[in-house]
Structure 1
Amino acid sequence: MSKRLPSHLRKIGHVFVDESMQDSPMARRVRDKLAGTDRADIPWTVVPPEQDRIEFVRGETQALYLKEYKGKFLRFCPGTRAYHCCGYRIIHIGENCPMACSYCILQAYFQDRVLKIWANQDDLFTELGNAFGADRNTRYRVGTGEFTDSLALEHLTGYSANLIHFLEDYDNVVLELKSKVVDLTWMDATTRTDRVLPAWSLNAPFINEHEEFDVSTLRERLTAARTCAEAGFRVCLHFDPIIHYPGWEEGYAETIDMIFDYVKPEQIAYMSLGSFRCMPQLTPIIENNFPDTTYIYNEFVPGLDGKARLLRPLRVAQFKFMVDRLRKHGMDKQLYFCMESTEVWNEVFGYAPKDFGGLGNRLMAQAFGEE
C-alpha cells in the first residue's frame, strides 16, 4: 500500500526541475520518495537552461522546483543596525514554505505557490567547505530557516540530513534547524549532538489554531523537542511573533507552562522573543490571504527599520509578562529579544547586550555549550 505524504506536503501537485539538475542526487531522491507514495503520478517538467523562473497558477496546488542556484549560499541575517541582531548566519537552501501562517513575512517576498529547493548541493558544500575550513578557529552559528522552513520539505529532499552529515567534519560550526513541523529523520545523519540545535517556533494555542495552517500542533512540536533532548541534543525555542490579541495573557502562559512538561531549562540552548512586526506591504497581503485575521488592526507605529511595530508600551507589557513567567520556570540567560532596542532590553531584562559583551557573542557561546 502506498504511503500518504505528510499533510503539509499534500498540496504539491507538480515538480519542475532544471535540465542541469534532472539527474542530480536531489532529483533522484525526490522522485524515489514520491514513487513510494499515493502521489507517485505527480507530473514532472524539465525546465530548459535559458528559463530562469517558472510560472505556476493552479488553485491551491503548489509546485516543487528543483533549481540550480547560482547565488551565494552562505549569507548574513538581514537584520538592521537600529536594533540588536543575534548575529545568525544563513545557509540558503531554498525559498518559500508549504505551510500557511497569516503573519509570515515570506508572503511579501514570494507571492507564488512555488517551493524552490537548490538541487546543486555539491556547489553548496564547496562554498561552505571553503568558508568554514579557511580558519578552523572562526566559529559559526548557522541555520537554514530564514527563507524557508528548515524541515518542511525534509521528507522529500533529505536536505538537512545531507547538510548535517557534511558538517560532521567542522568542529567550528553549529547548525540550527528551525521548523513548525515534526520530522526527525535527520537525527540518523549525525553523531554530533553538540553541533546540531533542533528548534521549533511556538505561540499561544489560539494563534496556533487560528493563524497557523498545515503545521504541527504545539504538543507535537514539544514532544519532538523532548525526543531530541533525551537523545542528547540541546533544543532552541522561539516565540516570534508574539501577537497581541484578546486573552493573550492566558494563551502565552499556557504555552510557557506547557514547555516545561516536556523539557528542562538546562536542555534549552536559547529562546528568542520577538513582537509581531511587518513591512508596510505585508498588511494588505495578510488582509487578502487571511480575511478573518484581526491582530493587524492593533496599535502600530513605524519602527527605525521601516517596519510597523506594536506600540512600545503594549509590547513591553507582553515581554515583561512572558519573561517573568519564564524566569519562574528557571529560564534567564537563555532568553533574548529578536530585533529590539537597548531601551526595551533595559526596561524588561534590566540590562542590554553591551553589558554582557554583545548578543552575538553570548548566543555563540550558548550554541557551543559554553554558558
Structure 2
Amino acid sequence: MSPAPWDIGLLAVDAAVAATPMAARARAALPGVRQVVLSPGDPLPVSADGGRTLHVKAHKGRFLRPCPATRNYRCCGYQIIHIGENCPMDCSYCILRAYFRDRTLTAFANTGAMFAELDRTFGRDRTRPFRVGTGQFADSLALEPITGHTRELLGFLSDYDNVILELKSKTADLTWMEADPHPERVLPAWSVNAPEIIAAEERDTAPLEARLAAARTCARAGFRVCLHFDPICFFPGWEAGYAATVDLIFDYLQPADIAYMSLGSFRCLPELPRRLAEEGRALPAYMIGEFALGPDGKKRLLRPLRVRQFRFLAARLAGYGFSRGLYFCMESDEVWREVFGRTPRMLGGLAAHLLDVARNRGG
C-alpha cells in the first residue's frame, strides 16, 4: 500500500461532523490510516508511528475575516475564508510556526455553517464585489485531494457572481478544477521564490517548474493566475536567483495570463530563529543580516535593502511587460513612493485597485 499523503498517520474526526461529506471523503482518501471518532471531551490522540494527525472538526468562530493588517503598512484588502489550520509543507520562514506548535493538520467540516455565514455577507448586496481567499492559515490546496474543501466551496460560490476566490498554494494540485468553476471568478495563485530558496528552505513543496506548469494549465483553461514573491530573501547571489525566477515565469506564462503579482520582503516574529533551533534546523543565511523591528512587532530587512530588491524585481518584470498588477504586501507609503513613484491612495486605494485588476477592468 502506498504511503498516506503528507505522512498522515492518524485521521481523527469529531463526532459532531462524522456524518459530513468531508469526513467521508477523508476516510475514503486515507484507507490505510488509523481512523478514530472523538466524542466531546476526548483528548486528541497522536499518531503511533510519529506521522501527522489530520483532525476533521467543526469551527466555532467566524469563517470570514479580514487579512491581519496594521495601520503602518498598506494592506491589499484581501478577506480570508477560514477553512482549516496548519500546513504539511516545511518552509523555514513560515509564520505558521509561531501560530501552531505541533504537526496537527486541521480541516473544518461544518461547511453548512460556513455557507450560511458567507451567504449573509455575499448575498446581502449582490452588487458589492468581494476578493477572498483561503490561503492564510493553511495552504489553499495542500489537503484538497483528501478533504475536497475547495470543490465544495466552489460549488457554493457558483451562485455568487460578485465573489472572486483566490487559491494560493505551493502545490501543483488542480483537482479543484473538477468543480468546473467560472474562470472569471477564480484566481489560481502560487508563491514563487528564487531557486536556491525553494531548494533549501521550502521542503516538501512542489518544484517551481511544477507550480508554473500548473499555472500554465490554468491560463490555457481561461483562468488568470496570480503569483506572489513572498518572502523575498536577502542572500548572497539573490540578484541572479530572482532574475532566473522571473525569466522562468515568462517561459510558461504571458503577461496577460497574470492578474496580479505581489512583492513582500522577508519578515518574521522575533522568536522564529529560536523555533528553528528547537527543531534542530540551521539558521538560514537570509535570516542573518541587517534587520529592524517594525511597528507590527516583526523583524524586517532594513528599508534601503528592501527597496533595492523591490526595484530590481520591478524592473525585471517590467522588462517582460508586466507592471500594472504589481503591488507590495505590507509596505509603507514611503516604500511605494521610492519604488513606484506613487502611493496606493493615488491608485484609488489598494483594495479597490486590486478588485479592478482581479475583475479585469481597465485603469
Q: Could you say whether these structures have the same fold, taking a TM-score greater than 0.5 normalized by the shorter chain as the test?
A: yes
Indicate the residue corresponding to 1:248 in structure 2.
238
Q: Deviations over 1:17-46 (max 9, x none)?
A: 1011112111111111223xxxx2x11122
Q: Deviations over 1:64-106 (max 9, x none)?
A: 0001111110001001111100000000000000110000000
2:307 to 293, 298, 316: 316
**Do the aligned partners of residues 354 and 58 (structure 1) sit closer, same or farther apart at CA in structure 2, a change above 3 Å counting?**
farther
Indicate the residue corresponding to 1:345 in structure 2.
336
Between the aligned residues of both structures, percent identity stands at: 54
Indicate the residue corresponding to 1:272 in structure 2.
262
**Do the aligned partners of residues 26 and 303 (structure 1) sit closer, same or farther apart at CA in structure 2, a change above 3 Å counting?**
same
Indicate the residue corresponding to 1:147 in structure 2.
137
Compute the displacement of 1:57 (Å).
6.9
Indicate the residue corresponding to 2:325 in structure 1.
334
Compute the displacement of 1:293 (Å).
1.9
Q: Deviations over 1:197-242 (max 9, x none)?
A: 0000000000000001111000000000000000000000000000
Work out whether 1:15 is the aligned partner of 2:2: no
Give ranges in structure 2 of 5+ residues lacking alignment. Answer: none
**Do the aligned partners of residues 60 and 346 (structure 1) sit closer, same or farther apart at CA in structure 2, a change above 3 Å counting?**
farther
Indicate the residue corresponding to 2:346 in structure 1.
355
Indicate the residue corresponding to 1:212 in structure 2.
202
8 Å contact kept, 1:57–1:113: no
Q: Deviations over 1:311-349 (max 9, x none)?
A: 111111111111110010111111000000000001011
Which residue identity does 2:314 align to in structure 1? V
Compute the displacement of 1:260 (Å).
0.4
8 Å contact kept, 1:24–1:119: yes
Which residue identity does 1:11 align to in structure 2? D
Compute the displacement of 1:126 (Å).
1.1
Work out whether 1:168 is the aligned partner of 2:186: no
1:367 to 334, 358, 361: 358
Work out whether 1:302 is the aligned partner of 2:293: yes
8 Å contact kept, 1:97–1:149: yes
Work out whether 1:157 is the aligned partner of 2:147: yes
Give the SS at the match of 1:175.
strand
Which residue identity does 1:368 align to in structure 2? R
CA distance in 1, matches of 2:41, 2:2: 36
Which residue identity does 2:240 align to in structure 1? E
CA distance in 2, matches of 1:331, 1:254: 16
Indicate the residue corresponding to 1:56 in structure 2.
46
**Do the aligned partners of residues 339 and 55 (structure 1) sit closer, same or farther apart at CA in structure 2, a change above 3 Å counting?**
farther
Indicate the residue corresponding to 1:123 in structure 2.
113
Indicate the residue corresponding to 1:75 in structure 2.
65
CA distance in 2, matches of 1:277, 1:173: 30
Indicate the residue corresponding to 1:285 in structure 2.
275
Work out whether 1:114 is the aligned partner of 2:104: yes
Q: TM-score, normalised by structure 1?
A: 0.94
8 Å contact kept, 1:56–1:113: no
8 Å contact kept, 1:287–1:293: no
Pairwise CA RMSD of aligned residues? Answer: 1.4
Q: Which moved more, 1:189-198 or 1:89-98?
A: 189-198
Q: Deviations over 1:124-173 (max 9, x none)?
A: 11111111101111111000000000000001111111111110100110
Which residue identity does 1:217 align to in structure 2? P
8 Å contact kept, 1:56–1:112: no
Which residue identity does 1:105 align to in structure 2? I
Q: Which moved more, 1:73-82 or 1:187-196?
A: 187-196
Give ranges in structure 1 of 5+ residues lacking alignment. Answer: none
CA distance in 1, matches of 2:84, 2:161: 25
Which residue identity does 1:22 align to in structure 2? A
8 Å contact kept, 2:9–2:49: no
Q: Which moved more, 1:248-257 or 1:121-130?
A: 121-130
Moved over 6 A (4+): none
CA distance in 2, matches of 1:328, 1:247: 20
Give the SS at the match of 2:155.
helix
Indicate the residue corresponding to 1:262 in structure 2.
252
Q: TM-score, normalised by structure 2?
A: 0.96
Which residue identity does 2:141 align to in structure 1? L
Indicate the residue corresponding to 1:226 in structure 2.
216
Compute the displacement of 1:10 (Å).
3.4
CA distance in 2, matches of 1:72, 1:55: 26
CA distance in 1, matches of 2:2, 2:258: 34
Which residue identity does 2:277 align to in structure 1? E
Indicate the residue corresponding to 2:75 in structure 1.
85
